[in-house]
Amino acid sequence: MKYVICRHPTISRDSIGKVIGFLSITVGKLVANRVFRLKHRIFFMVQHLLGIGHVMRSKRITKALLEAGFEVDVVLGGTETPAEFPAGATCFQLNPYKSGPGGFSALMDANNQYIDEAYKAQRLEQLLSLLQARAPDVVFTEAFPFARHQMGFEFMPFLEAVKQLTPRPLVACSVRDLLHKKVESGRDELTIRILREHYDFVFLHADPEFARLDETFRLAGKVSDLTHYTGLVAPEVSERCEGRIYDVVVSAGGGAVGKPLFEAALEAMPRTRYAKDRWGFITGPNLPLETIEKLKQETRPNLTIESFRTDFFGLLKEAKVLVSQSGYNTSADILRSGCRSVMVPFVMKGLSEQLQRASLFEQRGLTVLLKQENLDANSLAAAIDKAGEMAPPDPKQIPKLDGAFETARILKEFFERSTEDEPKFARSPV
């Protein structure tokens, strides 16, 4: 993996324009027209604001795209995470955005300072300069325009710049199975207008037999011609556990909102049938430091606390029970590994996606659901014991799990169907 930090240039705007112009005339024409390029290049824009789920899912998709023969540039717009993208990808780090304490609408930088117009302009300049220099054949936006509307000030100029490239790249949206239902008037209509004007593909990483777009997005029918259901983006079966093995694993994804879950799990430990078994708390990189220190003070010989596991899926294959929230990636890990689980979905105003997913799992006999408002040591201990007694899942109830491979296959087949006499970058390829 190549990793590049995009820094704001110290030369003047006029000089920047001259440099970009020179690249466009000399190298840009050759690269953009694929004279010297043996592979199609993908420009994958990934913006996370709170958890790390968007990054982890994009990492798996990137690996599949590389294996399908694409070049992949991953453009990271959030704060640094422990996730390592596969060898062969080139990663570019923009000046980061993250959500503030007031929610997703209040954006901050890596130093916890609220962003201003100068910061926005600087970062947009980074992004547009990178787009010009890399001259992609395909542009992916992760989540937008179904989410990240608060960043329309950046995404819309970016999409307009993509439209002006010659030849114009294909544009694809990569989006998870369930969306947060929008309550703002006109939000869904705006999403449709953006998709119809700028996008060629919507890769919906879901199984339609498990969750359909129209269940959480009421205007789904207006982009059905662009939409491809890929199945869930799950880990590869071959991934193994390379670190410590635990009988009970407690995880809260990135950890930013995991404090109540870990505190309840700590109290629940001696009350379960697994009281003397090996326990592992995987806190995530974003769990507040004071919470981590408090957990570490509770010294127990059979409890290990770790921040992050790159082999998390392999760990689940060895575990008896997982206690977690119900984010997309953890849910896919549960399905692929067959690990028995307790889901405690995170819910807050406007964010109900985890509860919807956990309810679907419970209906199919794939988990024990414990709602957030009912979480305490006794209820969690009972749920863990119940999960340990669950029968293996019925294969018919498990959704398709090859979303990363399917995304790459669809895109590769599109290019293979194109001939020299047909434009490879036509609108609406379906």
- Can you give the residue ranges of every domain in the chain? 2-232+402-417, 248-397
CA dihedral 52, 59, 159, 144 (to 10 degrees): -40
pLDDT of residue 400 exceeding 80, the answer is: yes
- Kindly state the average pLDDT of the residues 13-30: 47
- Kindly state the average pLDDT of the residues 14-30: 46
C-beta separation of 142 from 135 below 8 A = no
344 vs 20: CA distance, rounded Å: 50
Q: Over the stretch 380-395, which tens digit does the pLDDT of each residue have?
A: 999 999 999 999 888 9
| pTM assigned to the model | 0.87
- Kindly state the average pLDDT of the residues 403-425: 80
Q: Which CATH architecture has domain 248-397?
A: 3-Layer(aba) Sandwich (3.40)
pLDDT band at 37 (very low <50, low <70, confident <90, very high): low
Q: Looking at residue 183, what is its pLDDT?
A: 62
Per-chain mean pLDDT for the chain:
89
Q: Over the stretch 206-260, which tens digit does the pLDDT of each residue have?
A: 999 999 999 999 999 999 999 999 999 999 998 899 999 999 999 998 888 999 9
- Kindly state the average pLDDT of the residues 195-203: 98
pLDDT of residue 43 exceeding 90, the answer is: yes
Q: Looking at residue 182, what is its pLDDT?
A: 63
List the structure tokens of 186. 């006109």
**Residue 403 vs residues 63, 102, 204, 339: alpha-carbon distances, Å:** 12, 33, 9, 20
Residue 128: which of 253, 241, 9, 291 has the closest Cα?
9
pLDDT above 70 covers a percentage of the chain that reads 88
Residue 339: which of 358, 324, 355, 327 has the closest Cα?
324
Q: What is the 3-state secondary structure (H, E, C) of the chain?
A: CEEEECCCCCCCHHHHHHHHHHHHHHHHHHHHCCCCCCCCEEEEEECCCCCCHHHHHHHHHHHHHHHCCCEEEEEECCCCCCCCCCCCCEEEECCCCEEECCEEEEEECCCCCECCHHHHHHHHHHHHHHHHHHCCCEEEEECCCCCCHHHHHHHHHHHHHHHHCCCCCEEEEEECCCCCCCCCCCHHHHHHHHHHHHCCEEEECCCCCCCCHHHCCCCHHHHCCCEEECCCECCCCCCCCCCCCCCEEEECCCCCCCHHHHHHHHHHHHHCCCCCCCEEEECCCCCCHHHHHHHHHCCCCCEEEECCCCCHHHHHHHCCEEEECCCHHHHHHHHHHCCEEEECCCCECCECHHHHHHHHHHHCCCCEECCHHHCCHHHHHHHHHHHHCCCCCCHHHCCCCEHHHHHHHHHHHHHHHCCCCCCCCCCCCC
Phi, psi of 48 (to 5 degrees): -105, 150
Tell how strand 2-5 and strand 138-142 pair up.
unpaired
Q: Looking at residue 15, what is its pLDDT?
A: 47
Residue with tokens 């995404």: 155
**Residue 329 vs residues 56, 87, 189: alpha-carbon distances, Å:** 7, 21, 28
414 alpha-carbon distance from chain centroid: 24
At CA 50, angle to CA 146 and CA 57, rounded to 5?
60
272 vs 202: CA distance, rounded Å: 44
Same fold, 2-232+402-417 and 248-397: yes
List the structure tokens of 105. 């609408």
Q: Looking at residue 36, what is its pLDDT?
A: 56
Helix axes 259-268, 377-388, angle to 10 degrees: 70
Q: Which CATH architecture has domain 2-232+402-417?
A: 3-Layer(aba) Sandwich (3.40)
**Which residues have C-beta within 8 Å of that of residue 271, sequence separation ≥ 6?**
377, 378, 381
C-beta separation of 156 from 183 below 8 A = no
112 vs 120: CA distance, rounded Å: 15
